[in-house]
Structure 1
Amino acid sequence: MVIPVHDVNPVRRTPYVTYALIAVNVLVFLTTPGMAGSASGGDHLAQLCHLQAFVDRYAAVPRELIHQELPRLVPTGAVGVGAHGPGCVVAPPGYHKNPVLSVFTAMFLHGSWLHLLGNMLFLLIFGNNVEDRMGHIRYFLFYVVCGYAAGYGFALLNDGSGDPLIGASGAIAGVLGAYLVLYPRARVWVLVPFLVFLPLRLPAWLVLGFWFGLQAVYSSGHGVSGAGTVAYAAHVVGFVAGMLLAWPLKPGTPPPPEPRRLLFGRQARPRQVW
Structure 2
Amino acid sequence: MFIPLHDRNALHYVRWQYVTLGLILLNLIIFLLTGGPGDGRLLQVFATSFGLIPGEFLPQATDALTSPNPIQWTDLITYAFLHGGWMHLIGNMAFLWVFGDNIEDAMGHVKFLIFYCLCAMGAALAHALANWGSPVPLIGASGATAGIIAAYLMLHPDVRVWILILGRIPLPIPAIYCLGAWLALQLFNSLTSTQSTVAWWAHVGGAMTGAILIPLMKRKSVPLFQRAT
Aligned equivalents of 2:43, 2:209: Cα separation in 1: 31
Q: Where does structure 1 lack aligned partners over 5 or more consecutive residues?
A: 39-46, 70-95, 259-274
Does residue 202 in structure 1 map to residue 173 in structure 2? Answer: yes
> Aligned partners of 2:41 and 2:95: how far apart in 1?
31
- In structure 1, C-alpha distance between the alignment counterparts of 2:136 and 2:60, rounded to whole Å: 14
Task: Name the CA distance, whole Å, in 2 between partners of 1:131 and 1:257.
Answer: 20
- 2: distance between equivalents of 1:19 and 1:123? 9
Indicate the structure with greater strand content: 1
Q: Secondary structure at the residue paired with 2:134?
A: coil
Q: 2:192 aligns with which of 221, 229, 234?
A: 221
8 Å Cα contact 1:182/1:247 also seen in 2 = no
Equivalent position to 2:44, from 44, 52, 60: 52
Structure 1 residue 6: Cα displacement: 0.6
Q: Report the counterpart of residue 76 of structure 2 in structure 1.
A: 103
Q: Hey, what does 1:113 align to over in structure 2?
A: 86
**In the alignment, does 2:17 pair up with 1:4?**
no
**Aligned twin of 1:135:** 108
TM-score by length of 1: 0.73
1:236 counterpart (204, 213, 217): 204
Is contact 1:220–1:227 with CA below 8 Å preserved after alignment? no
- For residue 74 of structure 2, give the secondary structure of its aligned residue in structure 1: helix
C-alpha separation in 1, matches of 2:160 and 2:195: 31
Contact 1:190 1:202 survives alignment (8 Å): yes
Shift of residue 221, structure 1, vs aligned partner: 3.1
Report Cα offsets for 1:147-175 as digits up to 9, x if no partner.
10110111111111111011111111101
Give, in whole Å, the separation in 1 of the partners of 2:141 and 2:97: 13
Do the aligned residues in 1 keep the contact of 2:17 with 2:101 (CA within 8 Å)? yes
- Structure 2: distance between partners of 1:246 and 1:18: 16
Q: Is the alpha carbon distance of 1:66 and 1:142 closer, same or farther for their aligned partners in structure 2, counting shifts above 3 Å?
A: same
Q: Single out whichever of 50-59 and 235-244 deviates more from structure 2.
A: 50-59
Distance 1:186 1:62, change over 3 A: same
Aligned identity (percent) is 42
Matched, 1:252 2:225: no
Q: In the alignment, is the contact (CA less than 8 A) between 1:10 and 1:256 conserved in 2?
A: no
Query: Any idea what the Cα deviations from partners look like across 1:118-156, whole Å, max 9, x if unmatched?
Result: 000000000000000000000000110111011011111
Could you say if the C-alpha distance between residues 187 and 227 of structure 1 is closer, same or farther in structure 2, counting changes exceeding 3 Å?
farther
Rounded Cα–Cα distance in structure 2 between residues aligned with 1:250 and 1:220 = 34
- Flag the structure with more relative contact order, 1 or 2, with Cα contacts below 8 A and sequence separation at least 6: 2
**Highest Rg: 1 or 2?**
1
Contact 1:221/1:227, CA 8 A, preserved across alignment: no
Normalized per residue, the structure richer in helix is: 2
Aligned: 1:29 with 2:31: yes
In the TM superposition, what is the alpha-carbon distance from 1:227 to its structure 2 partner?
4.3
Q: Which amino acid aligns with 1:184?
A: P
TM-score scaled by length of structure 2: 0.87
1:148 to 2:149 alignment = no
Give the deviation of 1:11 after TM superposition: 0.9
Q: Tell whether the 8 Å contact from 1:219 to 1:227 is kept in structure 2 after alignment.
A: no
Q: Secondary structure at the match of 1:132?
A: helix
Please provide the CA RMSD for this pair: 2.1
AA aligned opposite 2:31:
F
